[in-house]
Amino acid sequence: MNTKAVLLGLTNLVIASFMFATISHAAAPVPKSAYGVPIPKDKGYVVEEIKDGLYWVTEGAYTAMFLTTGKGVIVVDAPPSFGDKMLKAIGDVTKEPITHVVYSHAHADHIGGASMFPKNATYIAHVETKHRLERMDDSDRHFPYGMFVGGKPVPLPTVTFDDNYTLKLGNQTLQLDYKGDDHEPGNIYVYAPKQKVLLKIDIVFPGWTPFKGLAIAEDTVGYLKAHDVILSYDFDKLVSGHWGKLATRKDVEVQKQYMQDIQANAGKALQSVDFYAIANKVGYANTALLFDTYLDAVTKECAKLTEPKWLNKLGGVDVWTDDHCYKVIMATRVD
Ligand SMILES: [Zn+2]
């Protein structure tokens, strides 16, 4: 084979692998109903009053909220992807100063912009969120808190609670509740009873499959249970953290059903995929390879059973159902 033929062969190989990469990344169409509110290009954000002085804000990807009280503004969360848009959104509707900041949980992609708020404001969070944030200053960190999501270190909570905390300010009330571990220890429910609005972040993704791996839930069983806890509140609108829209009770019920299907299909796959048949092929010499091959087969079976029913209902089902299946399979095995 001459040099030209070798080069041609290599070129074909590159083209073939590129085509394969392209094909393997092709995804099913996203249902139109999945998309959030249109974001005006000039402002780059939307601020809307849900009811009685409670506003939600989005830049298209993240969601957060604030309340005017007559005695100062209460802000819940500060996604760094907003930049200073939260300050602008508040300035659009009130001249009241920001006096209280509530952190939903410790993740930098939801609160890593909080250093822009007044230093003398009251910062409220679950005690576990404070513990997590105290790790911001660990000298053995390789990278600063929030660096890869555009955030930076934030004020530590000045008020913490274990189970419940009622924040009353001016004409507004927020009920803060902790109901156990789910997405991250310290992830709280923030409920506005007058407006029937609930904020609970990184559990429900209205119109979409959740973010990869049950939205990186630390406690899979708690994550799945959180759907029922959310529904136990008397709410009309849910601020769920993503993707540029509010969630309704219906969105929560739909995602709960999707999760129930994944759990059922994880069980079916664990029962039907034959570990010993795989071991006979792979052998026992490389334990990592054996378990990886087995768990991969169980994961694929669970995803295959789940996806057809959900492809037309939620965005990204073909992209992330296998990741959810894997987490649920692991939890079904050990939790
Ligand atoms: Zn989070």
Three-state DSSP state, 23: helix
The answer to the question of residue 13 being in a domain is: no
The answer to the question of residue 96 being in a domain is: yes
Where b means 16+ CB within 10 Å and e means fewer, 193-229 reads eebbbbbbbbbbbbbbbbbeebbebebbebbbbbbeb
Same domain, 102 and 237: yes
The answer to the question of residue 253 being in a domain is: no
Ligand 1: distance of its center to the CA of 293 in Å? 30
Same domain, 134 and 59: yes
CATH number, position 106: 3.60.15.10
Three-state DSSP state, 169: strand
Ligand 1: distance of its center to the CA of 146 in Å? 12
The pTM assigned to this predicted structure is: 0.91
Same domain, 166 and 308: no
Give me 197's structure tokens.
């609005």
Q: What is the rounded distance in angstroms from the CA atom of residue 45 to the CA atom of residue 49?
A: 14
Ligand 1: distance of its center to the CA of 241 in Å? 9
Among 247, 278, 304, the domain boundary falls at 247
Residues 6+ apart with CB under 8 A from 155: 101, 114, 115, 117, 119, 121, 123
Same domain, 68 and 168: yes
Same domain, 83 and 204: yes
The tens-digit pLDDT sequence of the chain (335 residues) is 444 544 444 444 444 444 444 455 679 999 998 999 999 999 999 999 999 999 999 999 999 999 999 999 999 999 999 999 999 999 999 999 999 999 999 999 999 999 999 999 999 999 999 999 999 988 888 999 999 999 999 999 999 999 999 999 999 999 999 999 999 999 999 999 999 999 999 999 999 999 999 999 999 999 999 999 999 999 999 999 999 999 999 999 999 999 999 999 999 999 999 999 999 999 999 999 999 999 999 999 999 999 999 999 999 999 999 999 999 999 999 99
The answer to the question of residue 19 being in a domain is: no
Ligand 1: distance of its center to the CA of 210 in Å? 12
Domain ranges, residue 323: 260-334
Ligand 1: distance of its center to the CA of 202 in Å? 5
Ligand 1: distance of its center to the CA of 333 in Å? 25
Same domain, 124 and 220: yes
Same domain, 83 and 222: yes
Among 247, 268, 290, the domain boundary falls at 247
Give the amino acid at 99: T
Give the per-residue pLDDT at 306: 98
- Within 13 Å, how many C-alpha atoms sit on residue 99's CB side? 14
Q: What is the rounded distance in angstroms from the CA atom of residue 32 to the CA atom of residue 321?
A: 19
Ligand 1: distance of its center to the CA of 184 in Å? 7
Q: Please report where in the chains the tokens 């709280």 appear, as a residue.
A: 188
Same domain, 301 and 154: no
Ligand 1: distance of its center to the CA of 217 in Å? 8
Ligand 1: distance of its center to the CA of 105 in Å? 7
Three-state DSSP state, 330: helix
Query: CA angle at residue 104 from 254 to 98, to 5 degrees?
Result: 125
Same domain, 183 and 235: yes
Ligand 1: distance of its center to the CA of 164 in Å? 20
Same domain, 92 and 213: yes
Spatial contact of 64 and 89, defined as CB atoms under 8 Å apart: no
